[in-house]
Amino acid sequence: METCSGIKVHYLNTLWVATQMSKIRPSLFFPTPAKYVKSVLGLLGSAKVVITPYFWHFLIHWMIHVMPESFRLDQMNQFAVQLRARALAKIKRNE
């Protein structure tokens, strides 16, 4: 998308990035900030408005969108239930 002033705007579709704050270890699907930024800079200026700059994030995003919606919703629900259970267990440990 280009504004009247010639500024291009991109929407970056980002999944996970391994940072100290996220406590995720770097791996194939969890790039370091440096690897992620390198992939972003490689796509800046492209014609697309929405981009998924890190290849493995693009692959995951594509796989999610070719799955049946019912399966995706079930997986998201299971993830939310597990996340809630972990959060409640952490609260109980800290009491």
pLDDT tens figures, 3-61:
567 777 888 888 889 988 888 899 999 999 999 999 999 888 777 888 889 999 999 88
Does the residue 30 lie in any domain?
yes
- Residue 54's closest CA among 73, 72, 27? 27
6: left (phi over 0), alpha (psi -120 to 50) or beta: left
Does the residue 5 lie in any domain?
no
Does the residue 31 lie in any domain?
yes
Does the residue 2 lie in any domain?
no
Does the residue 84 lie in any domain?
no
50: left (phi over 0), alpha (psi -120 to 50) or beta: beta
- How confident is the model over 80-95, as a mean pLDDT? 92
- Inform me whether the pLDDT recorded for 95 exceeds 80: yes
Q: What is the pLDDT of residue 49?
A: 83
Total tally of structural domains belonging to the chain? 1
Does the residue 16 lie in any domain?
yes
Q: What is the pLDDT of residue 37?
A: 94
pTM equals 0.66
User: What residue ranges in the chain does DSSP mark as E strands?
Assistant: 11-12, 50-51
- 94, with CB counted inside 10 A (0-12, 13-18, 19+), is exposed
Q: What is the pLDDT of residue 32?
A: 94
Does the residue 37 lie in any domain?
yes
Does the residue 60 lie in any domain?
yes
Q: What is the pLDDT of residue 23?
A: 81
Domain boundaries, position 23: 11-67
